[in-house]
Amino acid sequence: MQQPIYVIHEHHARHLHWDLRLEFDGVLKSWALPKEPPASAGVKRLAVAVEDHMLSYADFEGTIPEGEYGAGEVKVWDSGTFKEVERTGEKYVLDVRGKRLKGEYVLVRTKMGGSGKNWLFSKKGSTH
């Protein structure tokens, strides 16, 4: 059985950010990270849930035209596969096997902002 894909796009839109994308249920579940993804334990990054993307978007690199949603340059920052370690509606624990990021990572929903869209993304080893 093939492992699900994982990709992070570096996205130069109005503000530089990184888009974390994970293959679940036939789509890429997506989160926008305002800061570079954490490579070491103990560093937590805000991850704001955004709309799902089609699987075919995983290797997209190029320019989204001015006037369109997400206008700007997009390039693949990291990619690979992942294994689900734990998955609930509030928390994902993933064994990431990317070119840059490797090891167990955690995405956990927070109550920050009150919208339910805010998550924290961190490399396991920090306190959760």
Residue-wise pLDDT for 69-125, tens only, equals 888 999 999 999 999 999 998 999 999 999 999 999 999 999 877 778 999 999 997
Decide if 44 contacts 121 (C-beta within 8 A). yes
Please give the pLDDT value at position 42: 87
Give the Cα separation of 64 and 9 in Å (integer): 13
Return the sign of the alpha-carbon dihedral for residues 96, 79, 45, 86.
negative
Task: Dump pLDDT digits (tens) for 18-52.
Answer: 999 999 999 999 999 999 999 999 899 999 999 99
Return the sign of the alpha-carbon dihedral for residues 15, 79, 57, 73.
positive
Token pair, residue 88, equals: 């609930």
Give the confidence band of 53 by pLDDT, cuts at 50, 70, 90. very high
Token pair, residue 108, equals: 């956990």
